[in-house]
Amino acid sequence: MVVAALVAFGIWLGVAFLNKGNPAGPSDYSAVYLATGDIYFGKLQWFPKPHLTNVWFLQRGVNQENQPQLNVAPFNAVFWGPVDEIYLNPSEIIFWTSLRNDSQLAKALANPASVQPLAPQGQLPAPSAAATGTAPLR
């Protein structure tokens, strides 16, 4: 029984190690969708209870032409000044997923200053991240 557990742990560790260099493999960042409809991004940990660090959240809005617009904003930048960690109610989590290493959002979360947002074709440029504290999603 102990040998089987060690073999299973070794396989899991090997897969996790090999996927770190894989561009399509999972990154350190996850997306968490809650029953409220809110979506949070960050480094997800499950012990002792589910929580995110380096937390960002999805903001939905409309631009001046009444077109839908999505942005991500750092959780600790909201007006009431929370710390950069959020504990989640497990019964409110609808689903979670790891972001891929080659995901633009995972790259932005890992190093927000290095990403220069670009507007998709046919749309107005989003407000600058420096001016709004947000980074647009494409």
DSSP E strands, the chain: 26-34, 39-45, 51-62, 68-74, 85-87, 93-100, 135-136
| pLDDT for the residue numbered 25 | 77
Please say whether the beta carbons of 70 and 126 come within 8 A.
no
Residue 28: both structure tokens together: 């350190």
Helix intervals (H) in 42-133: 104-110, 129-132
Phi, psi of 60 (to 5 degrees): -110, 140
Mean pLDDT for 103-126 is 64
Residue 99: CA count within 13 A, CB half-sphere: 22
Q: What are phi and psi of 133, to 5 degrees?
A: 75, 15
* Residue 93 burial (10 A CB sphere; 0-12, 13-18, 19+): middle
pLDDT in tens, 38-81: 999 999 999 999 999 999 999 888 888 999 998 888 999 888 88
Residue 7 has pLDDT above 80, yes or no: no
pLDDT band at 1 (very low <50, low <70, confident <90, very high): confident
Query: What are the structural domains, with CATH classification, of the chain?
Result: 25-114+127-136 (2.30.30.100)
pTM score, two decimals? 0.66
**What integer pLDDT is reported at residue 128 of this predicted model?**
37
Q: Calculate what percentage of the chain has a pLDDT beyond 90.
A: 41
Position 131 pLDDT exceeds 50:
no
Q: What is the DSSP letter of 134?
A: -
Between 23 and 15, the higher pLDDT residue: 23
